[in-house]
Amino acid sequence: MESSLWLGNKRHRATLTGWNFKWTRLDKKNNENQTISVSVSDVVGVEEGRVNVLPRKSVKDSDKDFTVFYVKRVRSGSSRGLLWRLSQTQFSCPSRVLRDQWTKHLRAALKTHCPLRPNKLLVFINPFGGKKKGKHIYDSLASPLFELAGINCHVIVTERANQARDHLLKKDLAGYDGVVCVGGDGMFSEVLHGLIGRTQQEAGLCENDPSVALQACPLHIGIIPAGSTDCVCYATVGVSDPVTSALHIIIGDSQPLDVCSVHHANTLVRYSVSLLGYGFYGDVLAQSEKKRWMGPLRYDYAGTLVYLSNRSYAGVVHFLPADPLISSPRDKTRCLSGCDVCSSSTERLFIQSSESSSLCSSQHSIIGSEPEGEWVKVEGRFRCVSLTCMSCSCPKSPLGLSPSAHLADGTGDLILVWDSNPLGFLKYLYRHTSSQDQFDLPFVEVHRVKAIRFSVSSIEEDDTYRVVQEPSPSEVEDLSRDGSLQQLRSKCTPLSRATCGICCSRAPTRSVWNCDGEILPFTDIQCRIHGQLVKLYARGIEDTAAVQSENGQL
């Protein structure tokens, strides 16, 4: 379709052909001056009249005008990805008939070229996460955009923990195209466990069997960030921004995501998509849980306290290496939008027979699914043992724990930090905040793996100490400065599996596992990466240079 349209008092030649809608400014001699082109896939909606949506909707009714809303990408100063913003252009037509033709053809083009866009969404809002602004963020930023795009949303404001998970496990989900969570990583984890559990139930698969190849979830998951860290959103979009995430959902983007299952004694414990950490990261989480009243600052406080305790733990790690010819955690590549490694990956951890994938059998295990000779055993004392299925990038660590990790290649990165001197470990932690290679240290090694097993080394556990009345930070500082640690020691009593880490001379023999921000009740675990088990409304982190080259500008 092609005709003359007006923007203000300037005449333009507008053309809709296939995937593109463009308009070119004409001068008095009908010479083309400036052209703006918008891909149909980036169009959010078309409305009659002169319409504004954000910050609040307003309509100036006119029978000759229409407004086109579309995505505009802008640079983000502090993040790796691009911010998406809602842009709009208001056109005037010579007649109402022509206006109706343009709106009809543009809407038809959206249905033809964008068939995977969601029509109906189930939305869960956590009103308590982060700064408790989840409902406000949804009502003021996401909801108006969904309404503009014609998406029907059923909204549930959660009132208790695991309400979203229970709903997804038990209620009828027919007719929904996806599930959206408004909150932080904890809310995402609820939705993740609910959808995976529901899918396996309907497929007749047993989640407790670690050898079972799990069924991929049919519904997409969307994330509107409203938490403290929003690690999953940041690592899959590149920014933690509600408008950007809402627009990705509207456009119908699809990003496969690997999921790690965690088992103990042939029983499913949890699923993980970001960090599974033992040692330092587990101790930090355990310490921070005691200071929830501090808000996000509790992580800095707990991290400092745990670092000063200078702990390491004995353990045995078995891992099944991935093919090093496909990719490596040291290859300096980045998993960006359209990643070749993820796009070409069709592998799953193990080739399952129909018998082992359809029945829950206690005779099958991770060990029995692959030849024993392929497993690698490592034993020693570790500062931390980490397994991650993504880079785990965040504003404080722009490149993340493993910068070259991939989102959907069926592997995870196993990071082993051996016992080292405090200054060496501090250097390792500091490099997470910069562009320096955190793996280029003699006490750090990283492996790309498909599965791991961890157990505590068979060293006799000695009694240690724990804090009965935990000292305040000012008490610790004052007593340490005066050398009066005996006063601090008087607040500790023997216990076998915890320590204050400040004054006690004996170190604990066991840490805890930090699984996506939740403490696991078991130490001995086995983990398996399930390739592309879920799909997000995202497209990965966009390559700024590639987008700039394609569009000419940002």
Distance CA 341, CA 104 (A): 40
Q: Which of 117-121, 292-296, 493-497 has the lowest mean pLDDT?
A: 493-497
User: pLDDT tens for residues 28-75?
Assistant: 666 767 889 999 999 999 999 998 888 788 888 788 999 999 999 998
User: pLDDT tens for residues 423-446?
Assistant: 999 999 999 988 889 999 999 999
User: What does the pLDDT read at residue 26?
Assistant: 86
The pTM score is: 0.85
- Comparing CA positions, the residue from 448, 410, 456, 455 lying closest to residue 320 is 448
DSSP 347: -
| HSE, side-chain direction, 13 A CA sphere, residue 236 | 31
- Comparing CA positions, the residue from 356, 313, 277 lying closest to residue 525 is 277
Say yes or no to pLDDT of 331 above 60: yes
DSSP 138: I
Looking at the chain, the whole-number percentage of residues with pLDDT higher than 90 is 65
Catalytic residue among 42, 65, 177, 185: 185
User: pLDDT tens for residues 338-351?
Assistant: 999 998 886 443 44
> CA angle, 245 as apex, 241 and 250 as ends, to 5°?
150
Q: Catalytic: 323?
A: no
Say yes or no to pLDDT of 485 above 80: no
User: What does the pLDDT read at residue 29?
Assistant: 67
Whether omega before 55 lies within 30 degrees of 0, making that bond cis, reads yes
**Chain center to CA of 513:** 19
Sign of CA dihedral 277, 280, 285, 289: positive
Angle in degrees, 0-180, between the axes of helices 280-288 and 297-309, rounded to the nearest 10: 130
Contact call for residues 517 and 505 (beta carbons, < 8 A): no
Say yes or no to pLDDT of 93 above 90: yes
Residue type, 284: V
The backbone torsions φ and ψ at residue 38, rounded to the nearest 5 degrees and listed phi first, read -125, 130
User: What does the pLDDT read at residue 554?
Assistant: 56
Distance CA 302, CA 289 (A): 9
Which residue did the predictor score with more confidence, 296 or 82? 82
The pLDDT confidence band at residue 494, using thresholds 50, 70 and 90, is very low
The backbone torsions φ and ψ at residue 465, rounded to the nearest 5 degrees and listed phi first, read -130, 155
Say yes or no to pLDDT of 385 above 60: yes
Distance CA 179, CA 222 (A): 6
User: What does the pLDDT read at residue 551?
Assistant: 55
User: What does the pLDDT read at residue 544?
Assistant: 72
Please compute the mean of the pLDDT values over residues 106-131 and round it to a whole number.
92
Say yes or no to pLDDT of 459 above 90: no
Q: What is the mean pLDDT of the chain?
A: 85
Looking at the chain, the whole-number percentage of residues with pLDDT higher than 70 is 82
User: pLDDT tens for residues 215-265?
Assistant: 999 999 999 999 877 899 999 999 999 999 999 999 999 999 999 999 999
